[in-house]
Structure 1
Amino acid sequence: MTALATIALCWRVERCDGVTIGLTAHDRDLTIDGLVHRAAPGMTPSAVVRGDGLAADTMDVGGALTSSAIDERDLIAGRWDGARVAIFAVDWVTGALHAELGEGRIGSVELSDRGFTAELRGASAALDRAVVETTSADCRAALGDKRCRVAMAGRRRMLRVVSVEGVVVTVDAVEPSADGYGGGVLRWIGGANTGLASAIAGSAGATLTLRADPAFAVAAGTLVEVIEGCDKTIATCAGRFGNALNFRGEPYLPVMDLLTRYPGG
């Protein structure tokens, strides 16, 4: 008598905002480690490409946009960008782990009439990054990170949206200094954009200019968190933040045009 195979494919998806879902190719829901993995017969992974070399491990996961957990609008808005995905096989009778098949983070997402395809990039994809930083006149640190060390307490403010016209957002309080929010971030706390963040190109008074339109419509009164930004110049670092000691750039390094200069040029 042939033994009955009781193996089911599952994957756990953890978004950057903390939302976690479980999906399975089995014909019924499975509870694994306290998380319900919903039956998703339309979800299929490609072959896992792995090796013992330095090439990045990759695979694709495709599926139909039929699950309420994965919405087309959320994919387009970027809610799933960078999400951690773990794919594994379990015994659907006992729930015991059978094999870990792969793990990575969602890279590019493509939409089509048949559904979506998401690329998963493994841990070795980090090897694609530059080993050392290149020199630059502007600061390479992010405002408030461990290299910048500017204290962000008091530089984050909870505000209300007064109006939105395209990329221009008017809030109910003026900026702390001229273009104080330029280069900063606006985090949506309420409304359809909850959990998303928008980069701020510049600010003037109570007006913020975003680098891109909000993913979804914004109603007046929506709560947002606005975080101050920096234009990455040594003048702003020293004058506004008093932090020139931690400036991570080379503003006085001679540039390449110095080599092309000639007497009388």
Structure 2
Amino acid sequence: MRNIKIVLEYDGTNYAGWQRQKNALSIQQVVEEALYKLTKERITVIGAGRTDSGVHARGQVANFFTASRIPAERFSFALNSVLPPDIRVLESQEVSHEFHARYSAKAKQYRYSICMRPHAPAIARNYYYHVPDILDVEAMNAAAKYIIGTHDFKAFQSAGSGVKNTVRTVYEAYWVWEPPCYLHFHIKGNGFLYNMVRILVGTFIEIGRHRMLESDMKRILESGDRDKAGPTVPAHGLCLEKVYY
């Protein structure tokens, strides 16, 4: 059996996230069905991150074991010939049996994108969250400094998660304005809680609107209270950019 690592790009609009679901179509299911068409094997694909419904990826990483004789570097071409056009395998290679897309990962990088103008976008509507206000990006970047480092991010976790340890390390967190009206939040960390990035962005937007102070980010972080943080922004603005090993 060979262990094959793949890097995927996908538009998550039409899917119920990465992980296989009982009553909804997922990215994992579509990739596994494509592999069955190619290999006639029932293969389980292991993803680096369980992106939620509507979330996109430019650099999702996955691995799977196969007895197929398809050359490792050709799996990307073979898979793309049977995958729908909103899922693409960018590269494929054989790796050691010890490699695990999820457990071997050292860090992940996400980006959240906002369209900041009076009217919502038409063409980019599936990739940008529309905010009709002019946000104070300087204040948002000042607040972002408070989350860099190792902290308990319990205040930025949605209810329903079974995770007991809510301590995570954030290596980078900053906002970039892209003229004329686009705003991108970049965050890199060793792991993220359920809806953590989307709740952080919702809190930053409140700071950018001057409904909260920059220092409130530190206060919310230390409180561990989800009710003190901002709203959970929609999934479609979020993209998994890269997984580090």
Q: Same fold (TM over 0.5)?
A: no
**Comparing both structures, which one devotes a greater share of its residues to helix?**
2
Structure with greater Cα Rg? 1
TM-score range (shorter-chain normalised) is under 0.3
Q: TM-score, normalised by structure 1?
A: 0.25
